[in-house]
Chain A
């Protein structure tokens, strides 16, 4: 296993984005089920007669809709055609099942189309990047590596922190989707409403996919192209499996624990990358100092590194050794290991974690889930007030 085969950061990024997309879809599926059972009027295409005003418009607009949807899935036509029947409210039991099936097909076809497009764009992006642009920085490799590692570490920082909020993703997306349905049904929902169940997962997955592409692109800048596909595919598969497991079985607590573990991994990688970014900048400066004879540096031992600010140097265990790095490459990818640590690389590693700690404390405070020095954030106060308000009537009664 070398870093040429499996890029750990890319695995985690793809995994995370896939997981989020899976959660969204699972929320959608759950939502659809819920709505059909409780309030079918919210479902576009299954609009109850109460919003009958929309019906004529819908009839008018049908044909272009069919055209659009047939491009996604042929089977949709039949399903779609049956949709107006449902609105009449006949045979609710059978129709609910059929409707549900239809909705699921919408959702999955949208999701997979989105995934497909995202993957296509991602693949194209990476292909262009590595075939056309990779020569740009061949000359001062360390400088570029440092820049890319810096970008990647910052991306991972943001991702890692946001990932911790993933247990809110279900709630967030439920609200978002409900609002989306509501907005469309209340407004000109009948007009575009039929798309929603297709478009929403499509857009969502595409959005997460594009995000992944951008992140993967950002992180992969410093990675060899061969390291991306396997990592990305494995991340995708793992994300789908975990997403399904979460949808099917897991409680919120399990999800939280899962997220904690994943986030810690991500942040370990991020801190390592940040440290390596600083290391690379220093290495680049040292190579510039040496002038044209960059070959002088490299390898381990005396002469391969700048003694100024060196904190430890082992004449072995070099993760940059492409021929005989053994496990040190993996060690380096996950924990930012280097056999030649500098003051800068050590401090940057430490400061990355300090930044994580600071941000998380602030966020938890801001979200009103903890108090800082006895103070309470506005969110926390409002929540407490709501809670108290909710409890008051009970107490009085």
Chain B
């Protein structure tokens, strides 16, 4: 197997690196009921749900042996990890791999020891919407020495929760009956906690649902605080759709980490965290133990088409100082606000390099020509290629540098190019955009990218010594954000909206980085080709599986924006209507004219008619006729 030398190499490396191996059997878990409202089948690991949290140090190499035991191809994506030059380990189905067939095992090698990454990440399925069905867990990577000091840490996992299977919801979502593209609204929200590779159990005395009884959810969950101590809370939003507003009654927070980037302490009263983002905050415990305090996680309902009566978008958990003390819940806040991530300052200084290239991506949603609602970057909706893009990149030879070979939404980036992604959100909603394999520098934001007003649409400040970096960025409606990326990672990388529903309707592009260098570094393990073959997918050639830069026959594409107006069909139909109307009116004229009858004839016939009527005994007139 091709990958084993790498793994062995890691194991054999001189640092005291451990190989942190875990075996995940991806399974269905029946009747999980974490919100206590409705049992449902979820996708868990090794027969349990939620999947166990991963807790490793930067010395480790993480190997996840993922065996697929569910009925459809699956995958695992370690969100935010670089996988430098090994993008086939990234786990994005259609981009970096075929799905793992049922019964097969994919060994994900996450080279943490070489990637220079630490902080808060997460792992989730990147195959259809399986993470919406529960295949998601936090990943915490500890550096040898933390930049900030604290006494203890917890991971706070937030997530929206659906009572129906993702596949069913998707069918309703991408439907001619939903031309407006109203996303499925979650049925509830979940908050639960982890520490050191395991979840915190429910508060003693509560009566949790048996399937998930080892984990405390929402009001059954609590964080044990001791007076005076400082805690790090790693907040992960694992939602499919919902952003959260997170705050703790009676406690202040200081942001110290964003998407794996350590930042200078920045006080904040309320964290707004959209899908797939992570924040670490320091919370200093109170000195008194007279009360316990509520933790609030309110879903941002702005994006919801409707807020059903049955939905409680606001869930609470608690901080417990003394289990006998009462809970203080201060309720709502006056107003929600976003985290101003542009103002945060990374501890590791990386200046802004000038951009060699600018790629503008405009987000639009619309009802397409098939009547369903889809998302588009620059008016093109993404379709998965038949050949995973990484395999195209490796197999196309010199043709690999042709963007069109990867389908419609691909950009080929030369090695070590510094490029800007100018993301313009022309949609009415806010969207979280995630770039695989990189951290993006936030160069600037515009509040209205169509505006000429420099306060709304300011020019870029190119002289930033240390702009903020993150891997998932929220862009509100009509805003734009400029993201600077250094193409230092040969491979193929997905850039997409992390709202699962939007990814499913094509809000994605791929960046094909340094194809020729990637080919030199090609080390795709053989089992990946076997798995593609097991699924009947081609493994070489362009997106459609042809050894060509341009021939994309057989590749799925569309739907396309509606092209309304006068076209052949309409003009023909209109002509037909006018023609029949003219024929009809001519017939009227023909009927009335010609075949002239004299008045006498008319009277005669009218008389005959009347007589005939009387004989039949029908009297339409008012007078009774006497025959």
Contacts and interface: CB of A to CB of B under 8 A. Distances in A.
A184 B583 CA distance: 47
A363 B564 contact: no
Contacts of B204: none
Contacts of A203: 622
A367 B602 CA distance: 10
A312 B567 contact: yes
A302 B610 contact: no
Interface in A295-309: 296-297, 301-304, 306-308
B610 A290 contact: no
Given A171-B603, A267-B588, A379-B605, A311 B573 contact: yes
B8 interface: no
Contacts of B577: 346, 349-350
B368 A171 contact: no
Interface string A232-254: 00000000000000000000100
A30 interface: no
A313 B564 contact: yes
B369 to A, nearest CB: 6
Given A267-B585, A356-B587, A383-B601, A303 B366 contact: yes
A183 interface: yes
B180 A174 contact: no
Given A175-B606, A175-B607, A260-B592, A289 B580 contact: no
Interface string A344-380: 0010011001101100110110011110000000010
Contacts of B587: 356-357, 360-361
Contacts, number: 165
B569 interface: yes
A289 B182 contact: no
A213 to B, nearest CB: 17
Interface stretch (B124-132, B171-179, B260-268): B171-179
A257 B564 CA distance: 41
A264 interface: yes
Contacts of A297: 179
Contacts of B47: none
A289 B371 CA distance: 12
B592 A356 contact: no
Contacts of A205: none
Interface in A237-290: 252, 256-257, 259-260, 263-264, 267-268, 271, 289-290
B367 A349 contact: no
B606 A314 contact: no
A221 interface: no
A187 interface: yes
Contacts of A349: 577, 580-581
A356 B597 CA distance: 22
B482 interface: no
Contacts of A199: 622
A339 B426 CA distance: 26
A180 B614 CA distance: 13
A360 B591 contact: yes
A133 B571 CA distance: 41
Contacts of B571: 312
B591 A171 contact: no
Given A271-B581, A293-B182, A346 B588 contact: no
B584 A353 contact: yes
Interface residues of B, number: 57
Interface in B130-167: none
A396 to B, nearest CB: 21
B584 A271 contact: yes
A175 B46 CA distance: 97
Contacts of B224: none
B366 A350 contact: no
Contacts of B569: 311-312
A282 to B, nearest CB: 13
Interface centre among B566, B601, B605, by most A CB within 10 Å? Answer: B605
Contact of A179 (B371, B601, B610): B610
A164 interface: yes
A207 to B, nearest CB: 8
A341 interface: yes
Contact of B561 (A164, A302, A306): A302
A175 B603 contact: yes
B621 interface: yes
Interface in B571-599: 571, 573-574, 576-577, 580-581, 583-585, 587-597, 599
B625 interface: yes
A171 B584 contact: no
A264 B591 CA distance: 12
Contact of A176 (B562, B570, B589, B621): B621
B588 A164 contact: yes
A382 B367 CA distance: 64
Contact of B593 (A207, A256, A315): A256
A356 B599 contact: no
Interface string A170-186: 11101110011001100
Nearest to B579: A350
A393 interface: no
Contacts of A64: none
A291 interface: yes
B98 to A, nearest CB: 32
B479 to A, nearest CB: 23
Nearest to B373: A303
A353 B582 CA distance: 9
A167 interface: yes
A314 B596 CA distance: 46
A168 interface: yes
A307 B605 CA distance: 54
A201 to B, nearest CB: 12
Interface string B355-398: 00000000000111111010000000000000000000000000
Interface string B312-332: 000000000000000000000
Given A174-B606, A386-B604, 7 more contacts: A164-B588, A170-B599, A252-B599, A296-B179, A302-B367, A303-B179, A346-B573
8 contacts: A164-B591, A180-B623, A289-B177, A307-B371, A311-B569, A341-B570, A361-B591, A379-B605
Interface of A: 160, 164, 167-168, 170-172, 174-176, 179-180, 183-184, 187, 199, 203, 207, 252, 256-257, 259-260, 263-264, 267-268, 271, 289-291, 293, 296-297, 301-304, 306-308, 311-315, 341, 346, 349-350, 353-354, 356-357, 360-361, 363-364, 367-370, 379, 383, 386
Closest 3 interchain pairs by CB? Answer: A369-B595, A312-B570, A171-B602
